[in-house]
Amino acid sequence: MREKLIFDLSRNGRKGYSLSKNDLPETSVADIIPSKFLRATPAELPEVPESEVVRHFIRLSNMNYHVDKNMYPLGSCTMKYNPKINDYTCDLPGFSTLHPLQPSETTQGALQLMYELSAMLSEIAGMAAVSLQPAAGAHGELTGILLIKKYHEAQGKERNKLLVVDSAHGTNPASAAIAGYEIISVRSNADGRTDLEDLRAKLQSDVAALMLTNPNTIGLFEKDILAIEQMVHENGSLLYMDGANMNALLGITRPGDMGFDVVHYNLHKTFSAPHGGGGPGSGPIGVSARLAD
């Protein structure tokens, strides 16, 4: 069955809302908003009762394949399941009505939560420090790569290449390219893990870092990660981990214990921050003592 547009369901005079009685003095909109910002004619919005609006969008949602309908096998940002209580919690007024320009004395609760979150994320991943500033996973990647670039500049070394394992998260080479690096792909071996010989051959003096995802994109844990870490650091390069699949590590091991220098967290994946339809996203990054100092 073909679903009609919401505008096709519209009928003049139908209302989808009922406002409570106004107990404030009547004021003309024109007295509040300059006329140059006002419409000359009313917006042509559909006139549909609330019940029909709900049914319309429920019918549309049932045409979609979504996580409330069935299992989705791919670990995708927009398709993983959030407990409904978490979605409810983030909609509490203390979060949803917080304004970015509010004075700090009125936002102490949120600041405390962010401070405690950064400390928890540091402990969870075994990192020396965490920044909550990046607004999404790819933003966190770029921030981490720029930190790596700044680290080498502070060392007085010019390293313009960045290795990316072919089983890493797909956004990795894009983030590295935006940061101005030449991208060198490292092959996977027959087992689907990083090919150590190919890595060794490509670890040259101009390599800034190696980017990999652990477990990787095909779901395999890099069992040679300690050997990889040693090779990378002996070359004077840094080790970056994409946290896309960090769910598999929680409570078992930590990126910091594997020797990673930078890791980004996908709070919308591992920690059920709401996500989808363009946001809100969140991509904090953790750094080792090597970068934190």
pLDDT score recorded for residue 278: 47
Q: Which of 107, 85, 68, 62 is nearest to 274 (CA)?
A: 85
Per residue in 18-57, pLDDT tens? 888 888 888 888 889 999 999 989 888 999 999 999 999 9
Domain ranges for the chain, please list them: 114-292
Residue 213, helix vs strand vs coil:
strand
Confidence of residue 280 (pLDDT cuts 50, 70, 90): low
Rg (CA), the chain: 25
Distance between CA 232 and CA 209 in Å, rounded?
Answer: 7
Per residue in 193-205, pLDDT tens? 999 999 999 999 9
What's the Cα-to-Cα distance from 154 to each of 149, 194, 234, 279, rounded to whole Å? 9, 30, 18, 35
Mean pLDDT of the chain: 88
Q: Which of 85-94, 170-179, 215-224 has the lowest mean pLDDT?
A: 85-94
pLDDT score recorded for residue 276: 53
Q: Tell me the mean pLDDT in the region 259-280.
A: 75
Q: Residues 179, 171: contact at Cβ < 8 Å?
A: no
Buried b (16+ CB within 10 A) or exposed e, 167-201: bbbebbbebbeebebeebebebeeeebbbeebbee
Q: Which of 187, 176, 141, 182 is nearest to 161 (CA)?
A: 182
What does CATH list as the number for 114-292? 3.40.640.10
Token digits of residue 136 = 């999404």
Confidence of residue 74 (pLDDT cuts 50, 70, 90): low
Q: Tell me the mean pLDDT in the region 227-236.
A: 97
Alpha helices for 83-217 (secondary structure H)? 84-90, 93-96, 108-125, 137-154, 172-178, 196-202
Q: Which of 232, 229, 263 is nearest to 246 (CA)?
A: 263
